[in-house]
Amino acid sequence: MTYDPDQLLTPIDQEAPRRVQRLRELGLGDEPDPEFDEFARKLSQITGAPYAMVNFIDEDRQYFAGLHTTPANQAGGGSPEEAAAGTPGRVMSRDHGYCPHVVVRRKALVLDDVCDYPRFAGNPVVDEIGIRSYLGAPLIDRTGTTLGTICVVDVEPRPWGREGLETIKALAAELVDRIHQRELD
């Protein structure tokens, strides 16, 4: 196996313009949402992970409309500076983290230990926030557009296993149903 530095790059997202349009139609991705914060809390509680997010992604950034951190990890305003200081904030660059990979792949991603994968171990969130494990699934709406992701992360390696994969996929489907219900209301 040869080392290819290009494999470390965030994948090109051809769907981003359509996603941004769809997020605008739904009124999502620009501000915190108490329902999504509660959903992130539920994600954290079910998985036992200290961080959980409902993440909407545009061409340049990720926006955590739903965010839950354990009380010891909570920070005030959720600014990008806080994210760089070791606590996830509400906004993150598109080249940070693993959700952009999930959005482009349109498939769940399970990383028990990100350091086991050269493509993911070099991501800035490893050094800046201390992320060591990730579990995420895409939010694909009724139009076929991938709106974003739900995910949980931990600062310790975690064996998510098949149960974790099935759980995150089921919860993603549940949240997509809630988003569709909002659209009908």
**How do residues 97-141 score in pLDDT, each as one tens digit?**
899 999 999 999 999 999 998 888 888 888 888 899 999 999 999
- Low-confidence residues in the chain, pLDDT < 70: 1-9, 71-88
Distance in angstroms (rounded) separating the CA atoms of residues 116 and 164: 18
In the chain, how many domains are there?
1
Beta strands in 97-176 (DSSP E): 109-111, 133-140, 146-154
* Amino acid sitting at position 15: E
Do 146 and 138 meet the contact criterion of CB atoms below 8 Å apart?
yes
Which tokens go with 116?
A: 């086991």
Q: Rounded to whole angstroms, how far apart are CA atoms 100 and 149?
A: 9
Assign residue 118 the CATH number of its domain.
Answer: 3.30.450.40
DSSP state of 143: T
- Domain extent for 179: 5-184
Tokens of 8: 């470390």
pLDDT value of residue 72:
56
**CA within 13 Å, CB half, 21:** 6
